[in-house]
């Protein structure tokens, strides 16, 4: 009987973990959909590595070479070293006007 109780407990933990993981994935998909449909340019950069962690659809359409994992200074400024400025709406407006 102890073996059956142990197996039951293991299955219960596995199923709870699986459900929690599914909920987290659904929440991530919902958040990405919401951010992609904003009328804004949204991106997330790792402050230590300068890697792009997220780019919404609006910003991706302006910077087609930008992709997750690529350095922001490579994607936005075509540079090989970091740039110590943050993209502002004024910069993006100039980028769009020149495209």
Q: Phi-psi category of 86—alpha, beta or left, where left has phi over 0 and alpha has psi -120 to 50?
A: beta
User: Of the given ranges (6-20, 38-52, 76-90), which has the lowest mean pLDDT?
Assistant: 76-90
DSSP state of 1: -
User: Of the given ranges (26-35, 65-74, 82-91), which has the lowest mean pLDDT?
Assistant: 82-91
Residue partners of 64: CB distance under 8 A and separation at least 6: none
Query: Tens digits of per-residue pLDDT, 61-78?
Result: 899 989 999 999 899 888
Q: Are 52 and 75 in contact (CB under 8 A)?
A: yes
Region 48-66: what's the mean pLDDT?
91
């Amino acid at each position: 009987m102890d073996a059956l109780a142990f197996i039951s407990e293991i299955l219960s933990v596995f199923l709870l973990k699986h459900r929690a993981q599914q909920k987290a994935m659904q929440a991530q998909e919902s958040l990405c959909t919401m951010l992609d449909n904003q009328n804004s340019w949204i991106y997330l950069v790792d402050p230590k590595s300068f890697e792009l962690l997220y780019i919404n659809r609006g910003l991706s359409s302006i910077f087609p070479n930008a992709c997750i994992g690529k350095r922001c200074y490579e994607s936005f400024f075509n540079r090989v070293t970091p740039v110590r400025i943050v993209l502002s709406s004024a910069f993006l407006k100039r980028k769009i006007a020149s495209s």
